[in-house]
Amino acid sequence: MPVSPQAVANAFIEIAREEKMSLTNMQVQKLVFLAQGYALALIGSCLYENNIHAWQWGPVIPSLYKKLRKYGSGVVSETLEAPDSVVKDTSEFEIILGVWENYGKFTGGQLSAMTHKPGSPWDKQWKRKEFDPIPPEEIKEYYKRLAEV
């Protein structure tokens, strides 16, 4: 069952905290996007119901951006207010852990560069119409191909 993007962000923030790491606004935003991509690809459903838009620095979830913007480019120092949470011991949480293990070590700039690759869902939408939502089917197909590699 889908949760809020803030709940997914909180899962990453808590995992980072447990590992004595911190995350910036951009890292959180990109990790939450990647988790959605892999959830669509691997379990065939959304982690969260929310439009992902093609913004200048990559894919952005506007409702999550509103919660994170107070941190600017700095570290997100606390969990976000969220109406729900991600339940551990679920396939959704396993996706989040997998994304963390594969992408958690990268900076916001590195994650942004990864989501800007030619042919990526962001790239296709940015070329069509900047700042508009990225079609979930494009995200799903792209991350299916990455998951097969």
Range(s) of the domain holding residue 115: 5-148
* CA atoms within 13 A of residue 9's CA, in its CB half-sphere: 27
Token output for 4 = 């809020």
pLDDT number for residue 146: 93
Tokens of 147: 């998951």
Region of residue 133 (left: phi > 0; alpha: psi -120 to 50; beta: else):
beta
* Contact status, residue 26 vs residue 109, Cβ threshold 8 Å: yes
Predicted pLDDT of residue 49 = 87
Both tokens assigned to 63:
């409702």
- Looking at residue 57, its pLDDT comes to 87
Q: What is the residue whose two structure tokens read 């923030």?
A: 13
pLDDT in tens, the chain (149 residues): 799 999 999 999 999 999 999 999 999 999 999 999 999 999 999 999 889 999 998 999 999 999 999 999 999 999 999 999 999 999 999 999 999 999 999 999 999 999 999 999 999 999 999 999 999 999 999 999 999 86
Domain count, the chain: 1
Q: What is the dihedral of CA 137, 103, 93, 66, to 10 degrees?
A: -70
Q: Please tell me the distance from the alpha carbon of residue 50 to that of residue 70, in angstroms, as a whole number.
A: 20
pTM listed for this prediction? 0.96
pLDDT of residue 1: 78
